[in-house]
Structure 1
């Protein structure tokens, strides 16, 4: 079952599979192993291009889906998976190359663990999941902007010097918003569970 935002009308999504946003999400998913191979093998140009394309398509699939009423259940399932796989692949690749510190990986993975435990608890209480929150999407955008810049920051020239502070700025904002989104999801989950308990109470 879908969890609706409190106080908002029911949001209807389609069962269609072949839509432009879904195709973009699938292409992003297919790009994850290619990106991981590129960054681990030192092909930074290709890795950077794939990261940039991931950020662009992540923006476009949501924009097109909302603008042209192409939101679907499949899209709602694929989009966050593609986001997380790109983030995890990038974290692993950049950490393997010693471009980002281990603590950044730990902080972001800890948030993923918290969210996984929260969703498992909701599932045990009969709820399937939570709607995507704007803060969570903003966090993802910040991280997807930060990673290419941090990759560029690895260069020993003026481009690296310019990319380094900007990349870390996006990274810090991404970390803060990522955890803020987890707190908001927890608050929303509590409201949903409380309302559900009141509904079943005779």
Structure 2
């Protein structure tokens, strides 16, 4: 979810700011909580080698991830809790997914390293963010697209490991989404790194103590 969205007129440089509430029990927040609650369900399904059920949980998670942002923007339900809860739920789910799939040998471990390297890159920016009291990055369209591709691709890759006429199609489309998601995931990280460097330079230029 994000509190900033491009103007529907599509004019460059124009944005409309959506109101941010302090409400806790909103539909988008409940969907993010559901995504968090499904993490142990997904891990348990993988542990039992129930790949079909694990894929279904990932589908539900992907749908909820798409729905919470749409509902928040459309009905003005963007909240301060949601701005924190949504990306936390996304990252936790991706972490559990990639580690779990690597453990059951559905994806290679080097892909886990690539995705976690991006998270490490973001963590390494924290000292600068804290030093200059920079804002938490908003969840952008590209960031949501990266998460959507990953959470859409992984269940297809899982289904591709089940015997059936669908296996080749699922593997091909699933890996295409995973690759696009991985690229976009890194793009959002690099963009935020650039934003942090620009904001930090502006703070130094304005005499903000570091």
Q: Which residue of 2 aligns with 1:82?
A: 89
With 61-70 and 152-161 compared, the bigger mean Cα shift is at 152-161
The CA distance in 1 between the partners of 2:27 and 2:80, in whole Å, is: 14
- CA, structure 1 residues 198+12, in 2 after alignment: closer, same or farther (shift >3 Å)? farther
Q: Which residue of 1 aligns with 2:101?
A: 94
1:45-64 matches, within 5 Å, as: 45-64=52-71
Q: Which residue of 2 aligns with 1:122?
A: 129
What value does the CA root-mean-square deviation take over the aligned residues? 2.2
The CA distance in 2 between the partners of 1:48 and 1:9, in whole Å, is: 37
Residue of 144, 150, 159 corresponding to 2:166:
159
Larger helix percent: 1
Shift of 1:8: 5.8
The CA distance in 1 between the partners of 2:170 and 2:51, in whole Å, is: 15
Q: Is the contact between residue 27 and residue 68 of structure 2 (CA under 8 Å) also seen in structure 1?
A: yes
Residue of 171, 177, 201 corresponding to 1:170:
177
With structure 2 as the length reference, what TM-score do the two structures score?
0.87
With 192-201 and 7-16 compared, the bigger mean Cα shift is at 7-16
Q: Which runs of 5+ in 2 are unaligned?
A: 6-12
Tell me the SS of whatever aligns to 1:158. Answer: coil
Q: Which residue of 2 aligns with 1:194?
A: 201
The CA distance in 2 between the partners of 1:91 and 1:157, in whole Å, is: 24
1:42-90 deviation line (CA, Å, top 9, x unaligned)? 1222211111110111011100000011000100111011111111111
Q: Is the contact between residue 21 and residue 80 of structure 2 (CA under 8 Å) also seen in structure 1?
A: yes
Number of residues of Structure 1 aligned to a counterpart in Structure 2? 199
Q: Which residue of 2 aligns with 1:148?
A: 155
Q: Which residue of 1 aligns with 2:40?
A: 33
Shift of 1:128: 4.2
Shift of 1:119: 3.0
